[in-house]
Structure 1
Amino acid sequence: MLPEIIHAQQVVLLFKKRQIKHIVISPGSRNAPLTIGFTEDSFFTCYSIVDERCAGHVALGMAQQLREPVALLCTSGSALLNYYPAVTEAYYSEIPLIVLSADRPPHKIDIGDGQTIRQKHVYSNHILYDCELTMIHDKIQVESIATNERLLNKALNTTIARSGPVHINIPFEEPLYNRVEKSTIKDVKTIDILKEETSIIPDEFYKHWDNSSSKLIILSTLNVDVLTEADLNKLTSDPSVLIMSEVGSNIRHDKVVWGIDTLIAPIENIDEEITHLQPDMVVTIGGMIVSKKIKQYLRKFETKIHYHVGKRRAYDTFFKLAGHIKVKPSTWVQSLHSKTVNSQYQEYWLKTFKNRIEKRKSYFETMPWCDFKVYKLLFQNLPDNILLQLGNSSTVRYAQLFPMNTSHKIYANRGTSGIDGSTSTAIGAAMASDRPCIFITGDLSFFYDSNALWNNYIPKNFKIIVINNSGGGIFRILPGHKDTHEFDTYFETKHDLTAIQLCEMYHIGYHKVGDEAAFAKAYQQFLSKNDKPQLLEIVTPSKVNDEILLNYFKFLR
């Protein structure tokens, strides 16, 4: 069965032809023609998620793992505004997402009809492409049918080729629920996919590269197969090359600095020491950089020249961007000349980093129960071959202080870096992955997105770890007056909430610990139960975490 409305048929038929299979539907009435079209065809896999803000992030998590477009479908009015946080994350994280919003006919906008807003171009600042389809009442409207085909193809081509969100606004007039056995139109046409953007590596780049005695490469958010072991071996065989990787880079190598803040923080205010780190040139590969310290450092000491390599969007993060080399990072590595520069840049900083890692062992031995200790225990004891999803704020920053398991695939919403939607994204990723998924998050982020658990598709082996320090502990690390009413209420947001009632309501196994001995007993039980999703709530103090973390960096000096 198909919807009777012809332009709804166009959407369904073209999505099927272009292999857009996964449709996350937010229930409503105005979107009924498309809901009917997608759910009545067994080709599509449809999901019903009531809360649009959660639905948007679920689709985002699925697309993150599938590396192909996932569609969102909603009714008219404020519904599509609730997709906006996910749309912005998809835009900055460069994840293919298609928003299909049902709308009132154009002549019914701004005349006082209910559930009606100005939907056209609503995402204009954070979208790769948007369009509005023409309403088609009869198959003799040949030009309108052709126009819709062109608009739909352009939207799909854009999200596939450029990897980001697109928005298709679709006006419908009642009746909305009528169906037909066969399509009213003969076929839908597929217009050629956009050609992949590539660029020639300029001679100027090779000139800088070959003559620089200190080259810094920063690897941020990457998929797991972007750089091979051979690529890393070639890069690190040059003594003038120092590679720093972030937790979301999914990169580990003996000659790569995996803890940027551990290297920089102890000397960030000692100019005579940190100036030695200043590179002749910087190359970035990947998405947004997590470490605020490396960004501040490279801005303060005025990076001489910066190139960005890869298809991901290039940002002038250090105000010295000379060019964007739009080739695959592996292709770029293979193009580099075998000539190396006589330098001690890599050796000096790798030795410094290894000394810090050795020295911190004694700090860990005396560390009391706190956030830092919990993260240390977690990252030492996570099982192999999992999909690891990290919440924002404190979680991803603590993760940067530990070496990651090479068998893990690691992701976080680092496009906009907000706490909203982290749980929903992790659930969407788990729904689309063949790996068991563990999601680690802070308390505020978890409670903020608690509607994420209102989802009938959560895999039974999905696991959530919530570090509950009774507020937004990251604010204690930032400058400002602490332990005042204003700080507790408007910054740290102190609370006495616990996850137990949410787990009871959504039939999730619940475990709670508050010290190291209890953790040792409960953790294995938490991991071993796979009959339904499990949540481990780890309670930590609220007032010592900032001192322990800041003292860690001081200790390493």
Structure 2
Amino acid sequence: MIYPKIPMAQTAIQLCKAKGVKHIIISPGSRNAPLTIGFSNDDYFKCYSIVDERCAAFFALGIAQQLQEPTAVVCTSGSALLNYYPAVAEAFYSDIPLIVLSADRPKHLIGVGDGQTINQKNVFESHILYSANLKLDLRDIENGIEEELPIFKSLENKAETLLGLKKTVQEYNEETINKAINTAILKKGPVHINLPFDEPLYDMVNELSVAPVFIAAEDKPLQIDDSILNACVKDWNTASKKMVIVGVNQPNQIEKRWLDVLATDNSVVVFTETTSNLHHDAFFPSIDKIIAPLKHEDFEMLQPDILLTFGGLVVSKKIKAFLRTHKPKQHWHVDLKKANDTFFSLNCFIETTPNYFFSEFLPKTKRIESDYNAYWAHVKQSRLKKHDDYLKSIDFSDLKVFDAVLSSIPNDTILHLGNSSTVRYAQLFNLNKTLEVFCNRGTSGIDGCTSTAIGGAVARAEQTTLISGDLSFLYDSNALWNNHIPNNFRIIIINNEGGGIFRILPGHKNTENFDTYFETNHHLTAEHLCKMYGFKYESVSDEITLQSALGTFYSEDNQPKLLEIFTPKNLNDEILLNYFRFLR
């Protein structure tokens, strides 16, 4: 087998292999040649070549999001590394294990005007779980390339330094790489390993010169402090209004038996979101459909005694505004890692998994008499009828399109949602329960939605469909510069010629300033991009042709497909705003 000659590169590659990091996304460059040589010449790794580092990082994030295991990205030195930052931030806030392997110049070449060089150490400091800054393999201490290790302070004799330093550098690098990858595995988030390589970069050998020590990732046992558990049980058993809100949640993560317990408790209302991937007839999806029409006295009736939350970030602005004003007496959050005080009332962080919490907690609870669930279940049914009545009455628009598109997606497939208006429109509909739904809600940015969806599609055999707005798609159009896109991948673009969500928000619409700087009007389409990148393209602009196109859109083909739906930008906002008025 062919290996890079540089021991540091051998060490990083062998430890990735030992820890099961299989998917490696490589962007071209020279300084990262030792890593590229090692990964691409080992059949264990599945390597992908993606030129645009921003797209590459989101592509890797999509794979890691689906497999729930670390995926690595490899880049050269300089600004290439900075292009990873949006995906690193998304991984940080969405708890996705992403390993950044960045090649760097040696220390003596940084800050002296050498090309393609920036300060790479700790560059992701505020959005990273661990930064590993490796030490250069020592070859010639006389050239002033020694690293700052404690051994220099304790050894006075240069001969002793030369005899002991190489082993010390190797041990340091092994320990640091082990810690970085273990952190990504255990804490579910991004880590950065910065590797300074000196030339020559392309030398290869047939045998490894190092055998790095493998340090296993040791997970802590799940547990809950008895005093906290008992206090929660006591309060739960006396509260007549309990609300559960589930944010972003992996499919099939919560055991059905615990969902059934919550669903059959008359004192509990469970609000789920499109990204929650939880379904039960007694639950309350489409939060905004329930919350938006409420009056002050209704909010007081809905205000919970106890709010229990788990999962990631919550999309609904309306539920946030409601609970920040009508605060629960108690807010508990269950998570292994962090608790966001989203509603400004958090008083109990239960540091474990939801499944373990429910297994310890729910068997000790008891049901009490309450009409909390029954009352809001009646409201839900009323809203559903009005929702259906309104959709029958409106013209072709974004809302009408989402109704048609969301109901057309085949069973047991994967749905990726773009951010901004796309995920918010989807929130208004009860989705097919067999779908797995994903969206980059960690930072809620539009910058990598397409790249993430393509990465996810590569990781899974099931068909993947991305629904995106026009700005989101165009912003990340380099995502299509990718030779790995499966033929069963589908993109649906809802093109309203700009950032349609800004027409819904307060502002002076239909002015030159608004159209240019907020809505960002354009007349671009995806047609020529599809021709360049090998997608089958189709466009529609009315309900009849939309239904016809959707009838064959998901069928097998020898290339991926893109459907672009043009909607009337000057009508969409009024139809949506009138929707909430109609619900009242």
Query: Normalization by structure 2: what TM-score?
Result: 0.93
The CA deviation at 1:197 is: 6.3
- Structure 1 range deviating more: 427-436 or 310-319: 310-319
1:190 — aligned with what?
Answer: 214
Deviation by residue 1:464-497 (Cα, 9 ceiling, x = unmatched)? 0000000000001101110001100000001000
Deviation at 1:100, TM superposition (A): 0.4
What's the counterpart of residue 148 of structure 2? none
- CA deviation profile, 1:305-362 (whole Å, cap 9, x unmatched): 1111132521011111112212221222232224112111111111111111012222
Identity of counterpart residues, as a percentage? Answer: 51
Q: 1:329 matched to which residue of 2?
A: 354
In the other structure, the counterpart of 1:144 is 169
Give the match's secondary structure for 2:69.
coil
- Structure 1 residue 199, shift from structure 2 partner: 4.1
Q: CA deviation at 1:374?
A: 0.2
For residue 519 of structure 2, what is the aligned residue in structure 1? Answer: 492
Separation in 2, partners of 1:431, 1:420 = 19
Task: Read off the aligned partner of 1:188 and give its amino acid letter.
Answer: P
User: Deviation string for 1:31-73 (max 9, x for gaps)?
Assistant: 0001001111111110000000000100000000111000000
Residue 303 of structure 1, CA deviation: 2.5
Structure 2 counterparts to residues 15-414 of structure 1, below 5 A: 15-137=16-138, 141-185=166-210, 187-196=211-220, 198-201=222-225, 202=228, 203-267=230-294, 270-334=295-359, 335-336=361-362, 337-414=364-441
CA deviation string 1:185-227 (max 9, x = no partner): 2x21111313236441512222221221111000111111222
Aligned mates of 1:100, 1:65 — CA distance in 2: 21
Q: How many residues align?
A: 554
Distance 1:56 1:124 in 2: 17
Q: Give the secondary-structure state (helix, strand or coil) at the position aligned to 2:84.
A: helix
RMSD: 1.2
Alpha-carbon distance in 2 for matches of 1:543, 1:256: 35
Structure 2 partner of 1:455:
482
User: Tell me, what secondary structure is at the counterpart of 2:250?
Assistant: coil
Q: Which moved more, 1:201-210 or 1:27-36?
A: 201-210
**Structure 2 spans left out of the alignment, 5+ residues:** 140-162
Q: What amino acid sits opposite 1:109 in the alignment?
A: I
* Residue of structure 2 equivalent to 1:441: 468
Cα separation, 1, equivalents of 2:525 and 2:556? 21
Q: Which amino acid aligns with 2:74?
A: L
Q: Which has the larger radius of gyration?
A: 2
1:252, 1:404 within 8 Å by CA — same for their partners in 2? no
TM-score, normalised to structure 1's length? Answer: 0.98
Matched position secondary structure for 1:169: strand
Letter of the 1:536 partner, please give it.
L
Whether contact under 8 Å (1:92, 1:416) holds in the other structure is yes
Q: CA-to-partner distance for each residue in 1:80-138, whole Å, 9 max, x for gaps?
A: 10000000000000000000000000111110001000000000000000011111146
SS at match of 1:439: strand
Equivalent residue letter for 1:51: D
Letter in 2 for 1:191: I
Q: 1:427 to 1:479 in 2, by over 3 A?
A: same
Give, in whole Å, the separation in 2 of the partners of 1:102 and 1:197: 36
Q: Does the Cα contact within 8 Å between 1:390 and 1:440 map onto a contact in 2?
A: yes
Counterpart Cα distance in 1 of 2:27 and 2:80: 8
Aligned equivalents of 2:138 and 2:43: distance in 1?
A: 26
Q: How does 1:409-424 map to 2 (within 5 A)?
A: 409-424=436-451
- In 2, the alpha carbon distance for the partners of 1:13 and 1:363 equals 59
